[in-house]
Amino acid sequence: MIRYDALDALPVRGALSALGDALESHGTAVLVAPPGTGKTTLVPLVLAGLLDSGAPARKVVVAEPRRIAARAAARRMAWLLGEKVGESVGYSVRGERVVGRHTRVEVVTTGVLLQRLQRDQELTGVDVVVLDECHERHLDADTTAAFLWDVRQTLRPELRLVAASATTDAQGWARLLGDAPVVEAEGVSHPVEVVWAPPARPVRPPHGMRVDPALLAHVASVVRRALSERDGDVLCFLPGVGEIARVAGQLGGLGGVEVLQ
Protein backbone atom coordinates (compact mmCIF):
# COMPACT_ATOMS: atom_id res chain seq x y z
CA MET A 1 0.00 0.00 0.00
CA ILE A 2 1.40 3.38 -1.03
CA ARG A 3 2.18 5.57 1.97
CA TYR A 4 0.50 8.74 0.75
CA ASP A 5 0.72 10.36 4.19
CA ALA A 6 4.51 10.30 4.04
CA LEU A 7 4.58 11.33 0.38
CA ASP A 8 2.22 14.26 0.88
CA ALA A 9 4.45 15.63 3.65
CA LEU A 10 7.48 16.01 1.34
CA PRO A 11 8.01 19.69 0.45
CA VAL A 12 9.30 18.96 -3.07
CA ARG A 13 5.72 18.10 -4.03
CA GLY A 14 5.14 21.82 -4.58
CA ALA A 15 7.75 21.86 -7.36
CA LEU A 16 6.56 18.77 -9.24
CA SER A 17 4.25 20.64 -11.59
CA ALA A 18 7.01 23.06 -12.63
CA LEU A 19 9.45 20.17 -13.06
CA GLY A 20 6.99 18.29 -15.24
CA ASP A 21 6.38 21.38 -17.38
CA ALA A 22 10.14 21.92 -17.77
CA LEU A 23 10.70 18.36 -18.96
CA GLU A 24 7.73 18.48 -21.33
CA SER A 25 8.87 21.72 -22.95
CA HIS A 26 12.64 21.35 -22.82
CA GLY A 27 13.50 17.74 -22.03
CA THR A 28 16.05 18.76 -19.40
CA ALA A 29 15.80 20.48 -16.03
CA VAL A 30 17.85 21.44 -13.00
CA LEU A 31 16.15 20.76 -9.67
CA VAL A 32 17.43 22.60 -6.61
CA ALA A 33 15.90 21.26 -3.42
CA PRO A 34 17.20 21.40 0.17
CA PRO A 35 17.90 18.17 2.08
CA GLY A 36 14.83 16.37 3.34
CA THR A 37 12.46 17.74 0.72
CA GLY A 38 12.07 14.44 -1.15
CA LYS A 39 14.02 15.16 -4.33
CA THR A 40 15.75 11.77 -4.16
CA THR A 41 12.68 9.70 -3.32
CA LEU A 42 9.46 11.38 -4.46
CA VAL A 43 10.66 12.84 -7.77
CA PRO A 44 11.75 9.51 -9.38
CA LEU A 45 8.48 7.84 -8.37
CA VAL A 46 6.48 10.63 -9.98
CA LEU A 47 8.61 10.65 -13.14
CA ALA A 48 8.12 6.88 -13.44
CA GLY A 49 4.34 7.26 -13.13
CA LEU A 50 4.20 4.99 -10.09
CA LEU A 51 1.95 7.25 -8.01
CA ASP A 52 -0.70 8.04 -10.61
CA SER A 53 -2.44 5.26 -12.50
CA GLY A 54 -3.21 7.70 -15.31
CA ALA A 55 0.40 8.83 -15.77
CA PRO A 56 2.57 7.36 -18.53
CA ALA A 57 4.78 4.49 -17.40
CA ARG A 58 8.46 5.38 -17.73
CA LYS A 59 11.76 3.75 -16.84
CA VAL A 60 13.80 6.06 -14.62
CA VAL A 61 17.47 5.64 -13.73
CA VAL A 62 18.71 7.60 -10.71
CA ALA A 63 22.49 8.05 -10.41
CA GLU A 64 23.95 8.45 -6.92
CA PRO A 65 27.62 9.17 -6.14
CA ARG A 66 27.98 6.35 -3.59
CA ARG A 67 26.76 2.80 -3.05
CA ILE A 68 25.32 3.48 0.38
CA ALA A 69 23.23 6.33 -1.02
CA ALA A 70 21.98 4.17 -3.89
CA ARG A 71 20.87 1.37 -1.58
CA ALA A 72 19.27 3.76 0.91
CA ALA A 73 17.34 5.63 -1.78
CA ALA A 74 15.99 2.40 -3.26
CA ARG A 75 14.94 1.09 0.15
CA ARG A 76 13.17 4.33 0.98
CA MET A 77 11.28 4.47 -2.31
CA ALA A 78 10.24 0.84 -1.99
CA TRP A 79 9.02 1.54 1.55
CA LEU A 80 6.99 4.52 0.32
CA LEU A 81 5.33 2.23 -2.22
CA GLY A 82 4.72 -0.46 0.39
CA GLU A 83 6.87 -2.91 -1.56
CA LYS A 84 10.15 -4.77 -1.29
CA VAL A 85 13.28 -3.62 -3.06
CA GLY A 86 13.48 -5.30 -6.45
CA GLU A 87 9.82 -4.86 -7.32
CA SER A 88 8.92 -1.43 -8.73
CA VAL A 89 12.15 0.04 -7.36
CA GLY A 90 15.56 -1.62 -7.43
CA TYR A 91 19.24 -0.76 -7.36
CA SER A 92 22.51 -1.69 -9.01
CA VAL A 93 25.91 -1.10 -7.45
CA ARG A 94 29.28 -2.71 -8.02
CA GLY A 95 28.94 -6.41 -7.28
CA GLU A 96 25.23 -6.27 -6.41
CA ARG A 97 22.06 -5.89 -8.46
CA VAL A 98 18.54 -6.08 -7.02
CA VAL A 99 15.99 -5.49 -9.78
CA GLY A 100 13.01 -7.37 -11.17
CA ARG A 101 11.05 -7.73 -14.38
CA HIS A 102 8.70 -4.93 -13.37
CA THR A 103 11.27 -2.50 -11.97
CA ARG A 104 10.55 1.05 -13.17
CA VAL A 105 12.99 3.01 -10.98
CA GLU A 106 16.57 1.77 -10.79
CA VAL A 107 19.03 3.53 -8.51
CA VAL A 108 22.64 3.09 -9.59
CA THR A 109 26.02 4.50 -8.72
CA THR A 110 27.51 6.96 -11.18
CA GLY A 111 30.22 4.43 -12.00
CA VAL A 112 27.66 1.75 -12.89
CA LEU A 113 25.80 4.21 -15.13
CA LEU A 114 29.04 5.16 -16.87
CA GLN A 115 29.83 1.50 -17.58
CA ARG A 116 26.30 1.01 -18.89
CA LEU A 117 26.69 3.97 -21.24
CA GLN A 118 29.90 2.48 -22.58
CA ARG A 119 28.09 -0.79 -23.35
CA ASP A 120 24.83 0.73 -24.59
CA GLN A 121 25.19 4.34 -25.63
CA GLU A 122 21.47 4.72 -26.33
CA LEU A 123 20.45 3.53 -22.84
CA THR A 124 17.83 1.35 -24.45
CA GLY A 125 14.56 1.29 -22.52
CA VAL A 126 15.43 4.23 -20.27
CA ASP A 127 13.18 7.30 -20.48
CA VAL A 128 14.57 9.57 -17.75
CA VAL A 129 17.96 9.89 -16.04
CA VAL A 130 18.24 11.78 -12.76
CA LEU A 131 21.75 12.86 -11.75
CA ASP A 132 21.30 13.21 -8.01
CA GLU A 133 23.74 15.16 -5.82
CA CYS A 134 25.22 16.62 -8.98
CA HIS A 135 27.26 19.11 -6.95
CA GLU A 136 29.64 16.25 -6.03
CA ARG A 137 32.15 16.71 -8.81
CA HIS A 138 34.37 13.75 -9.67
CA LEU A 139 35.63 12.10 -12.84
CA ASP A 140 32.84 9.52 -13.17
CA ALA A 141 30.13 12.13 -12.62
CA ASP A 142 31.56 14.64 -15.09
CA THR A 143 32.15 11.96 -17.72
CA THR A 144 28.65 10.55 -17.25
CA ALA A 145 27.07 13.99 -17.61
CA ALA A 146 29.03 14.61 -20.81
CA PHE A 147 28.05 11.19 -22.19
CA LEU A 148 24.37 11.76 -21.39
CA TRP A 149 24.29 15.15 -23.05
CA ASP A 150 25.99 13.73 -26.15
CA VAL A 151 23.51 10.83 -26.25
CA ARG A 152 20.58 13.23 -26.03
CA GLN A 153 22.00 15.47 -28.73
CA THR A 154 22.88 12.74 -31.23
CA LEU A 155 21.03 9.49 -30.49
CA ARG A 156 18.14 9.98 -28.07
CA PRO A 157 16.62 13.48 -28.27
CA GLU A 158 13.62 12.16 -26.30
CA LEU A 159 15.79 11.12 -23.34
CA ARG A 160 14.95 13.35 -20.39
CA LEU A 161 17.69 14.55 -18.07
CA VAL A 162 17.35 16.00 -14.57
CA ALA A 163 20.28 17.35 -12.56
CA ALA A 164 19.29 17.50 -8.89
CA SER A 165 21.08 18.78 -5.82
CA ALA A 166 20.56 20.58 -2.55
CA THR A 167 23.42 22.99 -3.22
CA THR A 168 24.68 23.34 -6.74
CA ASP A 169 25.71 25.79 -9.41
CA ALA A 170 22.23 25.79 -10.89
CA GLN A 171 22.99 28.19 -13.72
CA GLY A 172 26.14 26.29 -14.64
CA TRP A 173 24.22 23.03 -14.90
CA ALA A 174 21.45 24.79 -16.79
CA ARG A 175 23.97 25.94 -19.41
CA LEU A 176 25.49 22.46 -19.56
CA LEU A 177 22.06 20.97 -20.26
CA GLY A 178 21.24 23.35 -23.08
CA ASP A 179 19.83 26.28 -21.08
CA ALA A 180 17.60 23.97 -19.08
CA PRO A 181 14.93 25.49 -16.83
CA VAL A 182 15.85 25.73 -13.15
CA VAL A 183 13.18 24.50 -10.74
CA GLU A 184 13.53 25.31 -7.05
CA ALA A 185 11.75 23.61 -4.16
CA GLU A 186 11.23 25.25 -0.80
CA GLY A 187 12.64 23.54 2.26
CA VAL A 188 11.32 23.29 5.78
CA SER A 189 13.36 24.58 8.71
CA HIS A 190 13.49 22.70 11.98
CA PRO A 191 14.99 23.73 15.32
CA VAL A 192 18.45 22.30 15.90
CA GLU A 193 19.95 21.53 19.29
CA VAL A 194 23.70 20.99 19.53
CA VAL A 195 24.81 18.45 22.14
CA TRP A 196 28.55 18.05 22.65
CA ALA A 197 29.67 14.50 23.42
CA PRO A 198 33.48 14.41 23.49
CA PRO A 199 35.27 11.12 24.23
CA ALA A 200 36.38 10.46 27.78
CA ARG A 201 40.02 10.54 26.70
CA PRO A 202 41.74 12.17 23.73
CA VAL A 203 41.88 10.10 20.57
CA ARG A 204 44.69 10.08 18.06
CA PRO A 205 44.10 12.19 14.95
CA PRO A 206 43.62 10.32 11.67
CA HIS A 207 46.87 9.13 10.12
CA GLY A 208 46.45 8.74 6.40
CA MET A 209 43.38 6.55 5.97
CA ARG A 210 43.51 5.13 9.49
CA VAL A 211 40.98 6.20 12.11
CA ASP A 212 41.62 5.46 15.79
CA PRO A 213 39.39 2.49 16.80
CA ALA A 214 38.75 4.32 20.08
CA LEU A 215 37.02 7.08 18.12
CA LEU A 216 34.80 4.55 16.33
CA ALA A 217 33.89 2.95 19.65
CA HIS A 218 33.00 6.39 20.98
CA VAL A 219 30.83 7.10 17.93
CA ALA A 220 28.95 3.85 18.54
CA SER A 221 28.41 4.76 22.20
CA VAL A 222 27.08 8.21 21.24
CA VAL A 223 24.64 6.59 18.80
CA ARG A 224 23.42 4.25 21.54
CA ARG A 225 23.02 7.22 23.86
CA ALA A 226 21.05 9.18 21.26
CA LEU A 227 18.72 6.24 20.66
CA SER A 228 18.09 5.83 24.38
CA GLU A 229 17.56 9.53 25.12
CA ARG A 230 15.63 10.69 22.04
CA ASP A 231 12.80 9.53 19.81
CA GLY A 232 13.28 8.97 16.11
CA ASP A 233 16.18 7.86 13.95
CA VAL A 234 19.91 8.62 13.98
CA LEU A 235 21.95 9.65 10.93
CA CYS A 236 25.65 9.01 11.49
CA PHE A 237 28.40 10.32 9.19
CA LEU A 238 31.72 8.47 8.98
CA PRO A 239 34.67 8.90 6.62
CA GLY A 240 34.58 5.57 4.77
CA VAL A 241 32.98 2.19 4.16
CA GLY A 242 35.33 0.43 6.59
CA GLU A 243 34.54 2.81 9.44
CA ILE A 244 30.81 2.51 8.73
CA ALA A 245 31.02 -1.28 8.87
CA ARG A 246 32.97 -1.26 12.14
CA VAL A 247 30.55 1.10 13.88
CA ALA A 248 27.55 -0.83 12.51
CA GLY A 249 29.08 -4.02 13.90
CA GLN A 250 29.35 -2.44 17.34
CA LEU A 251 25.68 -1.49 17.17
CA GLY A 252 24.54 -5.06 16.60
CA GLY A 253 22.10 -6.49 19.09
CA LEU A 254 20.16 -3.29 19.71
CA GLY A 255 16.59 -4.39 20.26
CA GLY A 256 14.07 -2.93 17.83
CA VAL A 257 16.72 -0.98 15.92
CA GLU A 258 17.60 -1.55 12.27
CA VAL A 259 21.14 -0.50 11.37
CA LEU A 260 21.41 0.48 7.70
CA GLN A 261 24.76 0.93 5.98
pLDDT digit string (tens) for 25-34?
A: 999 999 999 8
Angstrom distance (rounded) from CA 103 to CA 48: 10
Cα separation values, 22 from 35, 176, 177, 204, Å: 22, 15, 12, 51
**Between 113 and 212, the higher pLDDT residue:** 113
Domains in the chain with CATH codes = 4-184 (3.40.50.300), 192-261 (no CATH)
| For the chain, counts of helices (H) and of strands (E) | 9, 8
Give the DSSP H/E element, type plus range, for residue 93.
strand 89-93
Alpha-helix runs per DSSP H in 66-138: 67-81, 110-119
- Per the CB < 8 A criterion, the answer to whether 254 and 227 are in contact is yes
Mean pLDDT across the chain, nearest whole number?
Answer: 91
- Per the CB < 8 A criterion, the answer to whether 123 and 155 are in contact is no
| Euclidean distance between the first and the last CA atom of the chain, given in angstroms as a whole number | 25
* Chain mean position to CA 7: 16
Of 134, 127, 12, 120, which is closest to residue 63 (Cα–Cα)? 134
Rounded to an integer, the average pLDDT of 196-218 is 82
Q: Would you say the pTM of this structure is higher than 0.85? A: no
Amino acid, res. 90 = G
Model pLDDT for residues 143-165, shown as the tens digit of each residue = 999 999 999 999 999 999 999 98
Is residue 182 pLDDT above 80, yes or no? yes
**Dihedrals φ, ψ of 160, to 5°?**
-95, 140
Model pLDDT for residues 51-72, shown as the tens digit of each residue = 988 889 999 999 999 998 999 9
Angstrom distance (rounded) from CA 199 to CA 211: 14
